[in-house]
Structure 1
Amino acid sequence: MSATASAPRTYAVRTMGCQMNVHDSERLAGMLEDAGYVPADPASDPLVTGADVVVINTCSVRENAATRLFGNLGQLAAVKRGRPGMQIAVGGCLAQQMRDGIVDKAPWVDVVFGTHNLDVLPTLLERARHNAEAQVEIEESLKVFPSTLPTKRESAYAGWVSISVGCNNTCTFCIVPHLRGKERDRRPGDVLAEVEAVVAQGAIEVTLLGQNVNSYGVSFGDRGAFAKLLRACGQVEGLERVRFTSPHPAAFTDDVIEAMAQTPTVMPQLHMPLQSGSDRILRAMRRSYRSAKFLGILDRVRAAVPNAAISTDIIVGFPGETEEDFAQTLEVVEASRFASAFTFQYSPRPGTPAADLPDQVPPDVVADRYQRLVALQERIGTLENERQVGRTVEVLVADGEGRKDGATARISGRAADNRLVHVALPPGTTELPRPGDMVTATVTHGAPHHLVADSPALGGTYALRRTRAGDAWERARRGDHDHGGGAAPAPGGAVTLGMPSLRTR
């Protein structure tokens, strides 16, 4: 029986993990709505939802991924007992990895699907209802490119656009290539068509997404394709901000730096994963670059794009890491002046070569090194943000970025360099900025993880530019939108880099 045979069935999608999973969840939501489902009340408790269908899109990168999944499933089991007809589906990387093991441990789960077959979710839900038994379907390779699927976008004013799926690297700590497969690139024309569609519906910011964006084009014989794609995005009328994530230092080339510098809509921001500052550990990780090359890339980026804010990923406690290796990481971090860093304590992931390496670092040593790294980056982040004081920035207002905005009467959003900025409003202002609008203000304070721009409240710089992205957000809030094969907006948060998280649609 279809979702539209009687009263529409409701759904909620929970996302664990990276930007790729967030974007996949947009596809899952789009397909469910295309099949007649409607979103559950977003104000519902995310762990005790009233949805008829709950989809958990899992991550397997973090050590506690399985623990988190089965903890959530345990809570949902009690909800399901009180809601006849409720269904639970599990997808994503952990589903690809565990397969039938999820139903073995949680027999109340109705559907399990993998990273290569997102498109089967509605069919599996109907089959599970008809057959009254769990449906598990995992493909070994991609059958349908996700970008061809219906999409309900999380944000009306900023959008993800995938340029590739999968990864050809063999990093010893990473399970992603095994679960997402070899890299497959979309044709440039298809990417640009989706960018144009997103912009036509109101978005003014696009983030190009891939496991290794700067290897884009190798599969169709054009090693310069990514730089060309950045320049082509710069020609899309109405697109104001272009970002990308994530590149790999080994494949990062000067033509990309030139494209960043010469394309005004490519933002002065770069996320460049370091992982370790020790050449010996980089070799053990199979990261095919060394610290000198990494620092050289940063120097060239800053020479071409002086205001670039650079962020990174760092793993502490990789097997065999000595105090000397860790000291070298601290030296590279000190020299790199990262605006922010996503730092992780190494944890062995089953199925990765590093999990079987000797000389696993004791947890207490890893924890101590992690705290020392965080303290160093907090100091650097504070200094780098304090250097922004006095700069006038244009901020794309976001929906829900600032946790303290209600108490401080500030609004929040991202500057061009992707720094989070909390902006005060002029006293007595009646024209409030909407998510998707632009405000201009001067930075008055720099903190480790954000900037404050109180100039409007102090009688200083302030300008509001109402945008068609703000119009799109307002339409989406009213429900005045639809969705389809590539691009419908929905209200939500702006596209930003961030730590792995749990989101509820």
Structure 2
Amino acid sequence: MNVHDSERMAGLLSAAGYVPVDSVPEAVARATPAGDGGADVVVINTCSVREAAATRLFGNLGQLAEVKRSRPGMQIAVGGCLAQQMREHIVERAPWVDVVFGTHNIDVLPVLLERSRHNAAAAVEIEEALKVFPSTLPTKRESAYAAWVSISVGCNNTCTFCIVPSLRGKERDRRPGDILAEVEAVVADGAIEVTLLGQNVNSYGVGFGQRGAFADLLRACGRIEGLERVRFTSPHPAAFTDDVIDAMAQTDNVMESLHMPLQSGSDAILRAMRRSYRRDKFLGILSRVREQMPDAAITTDIIVGFPGETEEDFQRTLDVVEEARFTSAFTFLYSPRPGTPAADREDQVSPEVKQERYMRLIELQERISAENNRALLGRTLDVLIAEGEGRKDGETNRVSGRARDNRLVHVGLPDDLAAEQRPRPGDMVSVRVTHTAPHHLVADSAFDGDYHLRRTRAGDAWAARQGETGSAGGGVSLGMPSVRTQ
């Protein structure tokens, strides 16, 4: 969601006459190790889910202070959840920041930059409620072949560890017709994959009184010509219904991948977290998903060391992980967030105990992930080639992408492969898995002739974007700077 918000910010800046710094060579030449990229305007989009985000923000701002002193006219803007939470305190701690804006008023970013420039003073503007639905704002999409599409904003849950509802507000749903129109528009622009976004996608439709609206939306996406892959995030176990499982299994372009946050395997901790489901319900959902989609890849979120968590509670989490056989897990040490009920509890778990439990959980999940991936050895997969997924692709002469179930696949290509047989980001390849690891698959079958390329209009869109930008970029990454031509 933060990445998609950054795309909206970049779209607003582009509409206001700003251009990405990497398209201005003379600006790039003055880039510093502070990460400014040589830009005149740096926008940092923040998160507040974990304490480390604030530490990182002010560390980055400290590095940018020296750059700003040596670059007259440079502006620094801070937006997102941490800005919504800290407000003017950001400027109090970092007086060289020019603009602070929150989650409810992304649309005012260009105006605030101009106001700060005109007044030679910081412009801080935070709204308590959403002013403009983000999906109506201009967007500079990061990818030519895949797109995020918001179906709702905000959250009605009251999890005791989570600060998001107080910063994002109550859930607001978009009308199905508006969502499908946006999906059709991004497909017309070349995208073949869409991810539907919501804090709790399963609650979609409550706002306009339509039960089963999310399952209906998935089926409607299945009827959009040219849309090959549909994903969604994130569901909530308490609201996950069988009609969604049916829609996933019966709609060809809805991928058999599911992110289902567990948080804890202990019913006592789930109750303390105010998570309105229990262990048995969670495992029952996974069982029903696998009944209809045996090859579904299921990932999860787990918090270690929630206040009051005993060794017995933690063991129950390990038991659920063993039984659930997650493809992978996003694991977090509990981080107290000011303003949440859990932060005020006196039974906080010590850092040493949290760390020890965390390492045991990681060890268990690494083993399960490795076993799950090893079972795919020799399997032929359809892989949508991506841009920037493989950090070492240049060294290994590979390209990388995602299988239908969202597993990361590194694809080996022979040196003598003809140019027309080399895939572009957005193209599809069918390859056989030759090696496995806990977090990725390797498919070097092209060296044995087992390789099929399907060039797509998404690949054409990517190639066209390279012609427009003159670089391999064209999108915006979280926290990356932009420059305004004067």
Note if 1:28 corresponds to 2:6. no
Distance in 2 separating the partners of 1:21 and 1:408: 31
- 1:315 equivalenced with 2:303 (yes/no): yes
The TM-score normalised by the length of structure 2 is 0.95
| Contact persistence 1:427–1:457 (CA under 8 A) | no
Tell me the residue number matched to 1:445.
435
Q: Gaps spanning 5+ residues in structure 1: where?
A: 1-19, 482-488, 494-500
1:479 matched residue in structure 2? 468
Length-normalised TM-score, structure 1: 0.91
CA contact (8 A) 2:44 2:479 kept: no
2:219 corresponds in structure 1 to 231
- Alpha-carbon distance, 1:480 to partner: 6.5
Instruction: Indicate the SS of the match to 1:195.
Output: helix
Partner of 1:454: 444
Counterparts of 1:26 and 1:174, CA distance in 2: 24
Check the 8 A contact 1:477/1:491 in 2, yes or no. no
Aligned 1:87-486 pairs, distance under 5 A: 87-426=75-414, 428-431=416-419, 432-459=422-449, 461-479=450-468
Task: Report if the CA contact (8 A) 1:473-1:491 is conserved.
Answer: no
After superposing on structure 2, the runs of 4+ consecutive aligned residues of structure 1 that deviate more than 6 Å are none
SS at match of 1:41: helix
Q: Which deviations, in whole Å up to 9, do the C-alpha atoms of 1:337-391 show, x marking residues without a partner?
A: 0001000000100011100112100100000000000000000000000011111
> 1: distance between equivalents of 2:351 and 2:412?
43
- Whole-Å Cα distance in 1 between the matches of residues 118 and 234 of structure 2? 42
2:10–2:476 Cα contact (<8 Å) kept: no
Identity, in percent, stands at: 75
Structure 2 residues without counterparts, runs of 5 or longer: none
> In the aligned structure 2, how far is the partner of 1:375 from the partner of 1:223?
41
Q: 1:455 to 1:492 in 2, by over 3 A?
A: farther
**Relative to structure 1, is the Cα distance of residues 502 and 56 closer, same or farther in structure 2, using a 3 angstrom cutoff?**
closer
Given residue 25 of structure 1, which amino acid in structure 2 is its aligned partner? S
Indicate if the aligned counterparts of 1:48 and 1:75 stay in contact, CA closer than 8 A.
no
Whole-Å separation in 2 of the counterparts to 1:146 and 1:209: 12
User: 1:427: Cα distance to partner?
Assistant: 5.1
Contact 1:156 1:492 in 2 (8 A): no
CA shift, 1:445, in A, is 1.5
Distance 1:503 1:253, change over 3 A: farther
Q: Does the CA contact (< 8 Å) of 1:170 and 1:177 recur in 2?
A: yes
Q: Match of 1:453, as an amino acid?
A: A
User: Larger % of helix: which?
Assistant: 2
Structure 2 counterpart of 1:59, from 23, 41, 47:
47
Report whether the alignment pairs 1:85 with 2:66: no
Matched residues, number: 471
Q: Deviations over 1:285-321 (max 9, x none)?
A: 0000001000000000011111110000000000000
Separation (CA, whole Å) in 1 of partners of 2:476 and 2:427: 14
CA contact (8 A) 1:96 1:138 kept: yes
Cα distance in 1 for residues equivalent to 2:467 and 2:326: 40
Aligned to 1:11: none
Q: 1:175 to 1:249 in 2, by over 3 A?
A: same
- Distance in structure 1 (CA, Å) of the matches to 2:454 and 2:194: 19
Mapped partners of 1:253, 1:208: distance in 2: 17
The CA RMSD measured in Å over matched residues stands at 1.5
Q: How far off is 1:426 after superposition?
A: 4.0
Shift in Å, 1:49? 2.4
1:409 deviation in Å?
1.1
